[in-house]
Amino acid sequence: MSESQDPIVGALQQYSTCDVSDALCKLKHPHGGFLPGLTLWSPQRQEGATKIVGPAYTVKYAPLDDSAPKVASHYIDSIPEGAAVFISSPPTPNAVYGGLMSTRAQASKAVGSIIDGRFRDLQEHRDLNYPVFARDVGTAPPYGAAKVVGVNVPVQLQASEKNAGTATIKPGDYLIGDLNGVVLLPRELAETVIPMMAKQNDADAKMAEAIRGGMSFTEASPPTMYNYLNPLPPFMNGTAATWAYVSMAALAAPPGQFNRSALEAPWATSDVSDTSLAQTLDYLNTTDFVAYDKRFFDIIGPDAAIKHVQNLAFQSHEAPCYIKDTNQLFFTEWGPPGGENGTHPWQYLLDVETNELHNITTDPPTFNAHGCVVYNRSIYIVTDGHGDEESGQLVKVDPHSLKQEVLLNNYLVQPFAGFNDLEIDPRGNFYLTDSKSGWGRGIVSFTPPTNPTVYFVERETYHIKPVHITNGNANGVAISPRGDVLYVPDTGVSSYYPVAKSPYGKRTLSAFDISSSGAVLSNERMLSNPISYFYDGVRVSRNGWIFCGAGDGVDVIDPESGFTLGTIRVGGGENLAVSLAFGRNELWIVGRGGVWHVKDVRERLDRDW
């Protein structure tokens, strides 16, 4: 693949070796990928704007008396376009690379050569204006001292400095070289590093602007430049992700004017007069994780990172559930403008190991899936129904054959309005939220027969009864680890015909005590109201923390106090978190803009049923 065809190479062109090393250090990659001892010799000696970026094409030299056979064909004639040639030499005073090699490499459209040893014919390389990085120059050819024993094989860097360790350069890994030296970016880390560098450069630019505006370096250094942030705990220093810890005390009474809508995140507003607060909000809008309470650090931990693994349409995606048996994530695109006038008879399966996405159709098709839970190795899905042909259904799907079975489609001959989500308790009983969302978005033709309702379904007998009714709208539903508390968000904030969202509509997350039978809810109390937007999909972790899709990200809520402990962000802008699914120490977020994967979470998240 040529440089022009490789999007990673294109993305790396705008960053320096220092930028790459900064990001790799956050990932705890040894020495930030720096390859010590390799400096620029051509076209100029450590001057100018020379920079190379390309996938490694490696050549391994060994001492002449090494038992490995010499490679028969010359490596210089098989260099691919756009490659960065990396020559590995054993310690020797002889040069292993010369002017004719650069002539041929340049003709092959290589981006430059890096010599882990000596090279010669310095002026010839400079006359070619061809980039060469090396340890030193020499005059003697390699004959009688070294031979090529491998081409496009992993090679090790010469150890030139104490505690430098041993770096292995693999074919296809990215090599970046400039006046600062040479950095090795492992191919498997490239997609993680690039967005990290973008955020860091943005933060650096803001810091530089603050210094030019009169701040001292200390005042301008994050997080001290932001008067409204606490320092991160010591164990969170050097994290791969970008974090912020909001000081609720400092934010209690900011000076000047400020305003935002209840539907937009605090950092999405520009209507702030205090410069320090504006800078803080700008910084928060670059973060991956925002903490409001120190417990959030203990839940998520220093190794967690978030990645946008599927870039999809800026419309709703719903019904995520992780299928452990197949290591796949089930989810769906929902509603208009996608599908056929908003109707979807198909869903997605994402292979979470490779992030390969499959479009699937169950047998028979499942129309307008809206919620999903995996229980006892089967997928349970609720639907809105579609048109005037089908009302909301609860169906069971085999994750291997994709055979679908309808379990429930009426309440004693009364059709459902259209299911939004479901939960399953430890005994296998169902809680189903029946909402007006499908009707409101035009994928269900008939008027809802009742107000939005939460139904309880006894698994063994299919006895069914309403357990909660609202004049707002039913949406997500989740149960506590002990099965004794049910959490239900009300999304009366959404109205239809015309479609709109009002900050005066209901946005509360309520908690209910569950009777021993599961069929009676009592002691309703308002647990939380979102900081911004509204709560959509809701899931409860193994340790009882409540995770809610909340627009700008996923809010994590304390089940006792109802305080929001922190937010897992999905990047801002048009991206929007709708719902989520747990793995062991990971979760997936789906919503407007696609799928995000949060890995290496400190606490175990998946429940034990």
Does 98 count as an annotated binding residue? yes
DSSP strand pairing (132-137 vs 39-42): antiparallel
Tokens of 144: 């009688």
Helix (H, G, I), strand (E, B) or coil at 289: strand
A 10 A CB-CB count for 520 gives 13
Helix (H, G, I), strand (E, B) or coil at 400: coil
> How far is Cα 429 from Cα 460, in angstroms, rounded to an integer?
8
**Tokens 């004959």 belong to residue:** 143
Q: Which of 531, 546, 544 is nearest to 580 (CA)?
A: 546
Name the packing angle between helices 190-212 and 275-284 (round to 10°): 170
Q: How far is CA 344 from CA 179, 369, 561, in A?
A: 54, 8, 39
Does 441 count as an annotated binding residue? no
Backbone angles phi, psi at 99, to 5 degrees: -60, -40
> How far is Cα 184 from Cα 14, in angstroms, rounded to an integer?
16
> How far is Cα 532 from Cα 413, in angstroms, rounded to an integer?
39
Does 101 count as an annotated binding residue? yes
> How far is Cα 422 from Cα 477, in angstroms, rounded to an integer?
6
Q: Find all residues with CB under 8 Å of 223, minimum gap 6, and list them.
A: 229, 230, 231, 232, 244, 245, 283
Exposed e or buried b for every residue in 81-98, given b needs 16+ CB within 10 A? ebbbbbbbbbebebbbbb
> How far is Cα 529 from Cα 288, in angstroms, rounded to an integer?
22
Does 583 count as an annotated binding residue? no
Does 592 count as an annotated binding residue? no
Helix (H, G, I), strand (E, B) or coil at 206: helix
- Strand ranges (E), 68-180: 84-88, 112-119, 132-137, 146-151, 155-156, 168-169, 174-178
Q: Which amino acid is at 237?
A: N
Written as one string, the DSSP assignment of 210-277 is HHHTT--HHHHSTTTT-TTEEPPPGGGTT-SS-EEEE-TTGGGS-SS-B---TTS-GGG---B--HHH
Q: How far is CA 333 from CA 10, 338, 514, 555, in A?
A: 31, 7, 32, 22
Do 391 and 409 contact (CB within 8 A), yes or no?
Answer: yes
Do 592 and 337 contact (CB within 8 A), yes or no?
Answer: no
- Strand ranges (E), 123-173: 132-137, 146-151, 155-156, 168-169
End-to-end CA distance of the chain: 47
Q: How far is CA 468 from CA 425, 462, 490, 506, in A?
A: 17, 18, 11, 15
Written as one string, the DSSP assignment of 482-549 is TS-EEEEEB-TTEETTTTEE-TTS---EEEEEE-TTSS-EEEEEEEE--SSS---SEEE-TTS-EEEE
Tokens of 111: 């981006």
Does 121 count as an annotated binding residue? yes
- Annotated binding-site residues read 98-101, 120-121
- Annotated binding-site residues for substrate read 98-101, 120
- Annotated binding-site residues for Mg(2+) read 121
